Structure 1
């Protein structure tokens, strides 16, 4: 699959989807508290996307058939899940879960940190973003990990412009994170995005300067560094086929934005109101 440079009409569709995805993260914060389950957070996000935004949660049955899954008037699936499909409308990756955590019935407890990853499909376009949340008060170690991870995303965003290379961006993330004593996950990466959830190019969060795809005006893609408190090694839960954890059970953090490479730099399509770019 080649890289798709978006037309002005497609970019406008991406803007709408990106704003809706950001809105989900803005909305859900008030519901994050001790005792709530990630399954309940999934329900709230699902209903907001389907009933309020008239969109579709891209992860629901992702990897299964059919996709997207038809929903009834109440926003519930109308057919059984396809084999292997992701069964929830958001990903919730708690503590040592790196990515693709499946919402469940386990109550969140004080001090838990987790990444909530949401992708909204609106009129055929995808907006993909994630944010770290804290239940109650996080430990100083967890706070610093989340801060460094977010800072690595922001410094990468500042580098996006025509002519920049993905190898330089990945190297900058890796260098910044490793200087703080943390490690960057290499098995999972950012990606091109548009009318297809995952397009070219792959956007790694490590790399060599002067290498990789050269950015062009009209490219839309995600940057989503996954940073571990301990070693970078991860493992996949073979039982559910989705959940990825740190191999040494150390904490992990992730932040993500969908970006547009413009003529002069970058537009953050999933910018939240709390952010200034």
Structure 2
């Protein structure tokens, strides 16, 4: 199932994607309007959505809706750094002994098609194509072998970074949390449809130039290991977003630098999920 948060006639709610339509949840009391509540409801909500799909009704053409970020305001947005060997090599840093996480503030999140703002205070705006996964239920101390049970599904993330502000703090948080630096989408593909999340091709384009080409099999710490590591320290909750790191090819390491400029478009494609696309404009 492909789960979306969408807006239609100025009302925002959860739906599902079938071909060129969004299956609307309006009027179904068993389907919460917010994605976090939908995921927290679990099997009941999924069963109700499947029945909505199977009815063949309640379908709105894609052209009539606006897709929002699948989880527009996650409770936590955690991202791992230095998780691909080729990216570690291009940064010149040492391979980490443990997973190294930072936080992106939830106000940075936007959906596919929304504009990334080049900040007024910096021209060092960069992209990072990444696989992200969404926690499906409240959990703590999850062993690696059971981690797949708490992942609701997978989406695409662009860990947009303001590089000079990122470098001002060892936590990197402020340079990762500017408004609009958290594109997510276009939807959540539920875990049953993905199968193995650790064998997916990932490609990132800036306009028509391919900048990143990798496979999630190249991650140093896989999705399940991330869940086990994080849940040893903190409670993970439905709707939390965890982004799994970027491969080589980021703009800051190009010669000359490949920073994003107004008028450009970043497209990230991950096998089995789809495409996340966002244009760049000057901050209004």
* Bigger fraction of residues in strand: 2
- TM above 0.5, yes or no, is no
Q: TM-score, normalised by structure 2?
A: 0.27
Q: TM-score, normalised by structure 1?
A: 0.27
